[in-house]
Amino acid sequence: MGVNQITANALVQQLGGQLRGDDVLITNITSLRQANRNDISFLSNPRLRTEAQASRAGVLIVTEKSAEILTGRTLIVTDDPYLYFARVTRLFHPRGRPKAGIHPSASIAATAQIAPNCEIGAHVVIGERTIIKDNTRILAGTVIEEDCTIGQDCFIHANVTIYHGCQLGDRVELHSGCVIGADGFGMAWDKPNNQWFKIAQTGAVVLGNDVEIGANTTIDRGAIENTVIEDDAKIDNQVMIGHNGKIGAHVAIVACTGIAGSTEVGAYSVIGGAAMIGGHLNIPPQTTIGAATAVSHSIKESGHYASIFPLQKHNDWVKNAVHIRHLHEMNQKIKKLELQLAKLTSHLTDSQE
């Protein structure tokens, strides 16, 4: 159970930071605009200082620099207000604990092993030889096929599908509709029969500890080796990760991204929404890929990469698009002009001598 209310002083004693001002009773967490005298909010973006000054929040979480202009307010001063605010949200809204037991409508294979303190919801299906470890919650309609291992303290929301042989570490959270371990898109062209021949996908998916997978995201099983998502990777909704891929530890991938098979994304990288990354590529650690960026070749040096045009009026975009279509032709003309200019300059120099 989370707290219903807490004083600012008690909050600081529990989470750290420095309290300045009155010891306000906090009963709710909300935005700067909606906050009232018993609410707590935060300021992490300096551009919102004017909004923070106008806010009626009883307590504001701020940096030392912001505290200098927010005089006469109750403040909690910390190096990282956003992280502090995140911890406050967990204090008020902690992760639910399992209600131990198996719903009568669940279908559990005889050889499955389920820890007695797990929660198994209505119409859950668990296959042969699958192991579910301590304190894990599996909500209604989820299907976990045979030979899977689900670690401790996992939270699998309703209507998740985990194919055979997949492995989840501890404290993994899978949101509704995600599919772990479907077949990778592996085909060989059968010329004599004029059709595709499907390659058996014999690998699995391995999720490390503290991985979170968003709603309706799909992670394909490996063709031969496993598809691996390392510890603390966070993957948003509607992301697709192809077979044999490797997502490094602490990587964050935003919604609607597609990563083709056998691509490796290094640790601590951030992939923006709707980015498209080709197959058999390497993204080095601590790399940021901007939203809607197309990555068609491996990146050799860590950094921030993007390949999209800024927003502009449609008429301007049409005019610029016309020129983009002729870039190669324009480049050839510029090279010819540069060559002519070089010859002319050389001729003038010779004549002056």
Q: What is the pLDDT of residue 321?
A: 86
Give the start-to-end residue ranges of the domains of the chain.
6-92, 101-305, 314-352
Residue 3 has pLDDT above 90, yes or no: no
DSSP 15-39: H--EEES---EE-EE--TTT--TTE
Cα(352)–Cα(344) distance, integer angstroms: 12
Angle at 311 between CA 268 and CA 292, to 5 degrees: 35
Q: How does the average pLDDT of the chain come out, rounded? A: 95
- With residues binned 3-state (H G I as helix, E B as strand, rest as coil), the percentages for the chain, rounded to 5, are 20, 25, 55
- Are 6-92 and 101-305 the same fold in CATH? no
Q: Which CATH superfamily is domain 101-305 in?
A: Hexapeptide repeat proteins (2.160.10.10)
* 347 tagged catalytic: no
3-state secondary structure of 300: coil
Residue from 226, 234, 227, 228 nearest 210 by CA: 234
pLDDT over 70 (residue 40): yes
pTM over 0.85: yes
pLDDT at 2: 76
CA distance linking residue 259 with residue 299, whole number of Å = 14
Which among 198, 239, 236, 199 is positioned nearest to 214, based on CA atoms?
236
Contact 250, 265 (CB under 8 A): no
So what's the pLDDT on residue 353? 63
Q: How many CB atoms lie within 10 A of CB 31?
A: 12
Q: List, in order, residues 6 or more apart from 257 with CB less than 8 Å away.
A: 236, 239, 240, 271, 272, 273, 274, 275, 276, 277
- Residue range 182-232, pLDDT digits in tens: 999 999 999 999 999 999 999 999 999 999 999 999 999 999 999 999 999
- pLDDT at site 309: 79
Residue 138 burial class via C-beta count within 10 angstroms: exposed 0-12, middle 13-18, buried 19 and up: buried
- pLDDT interval class at 175 (50, 70, 90): very high
CATH number of 6-92: 3.40.1390.10
| Catalytic residue (one of 243, 250, 297, 347) | 243
pLDDT at 181 over 80: yes
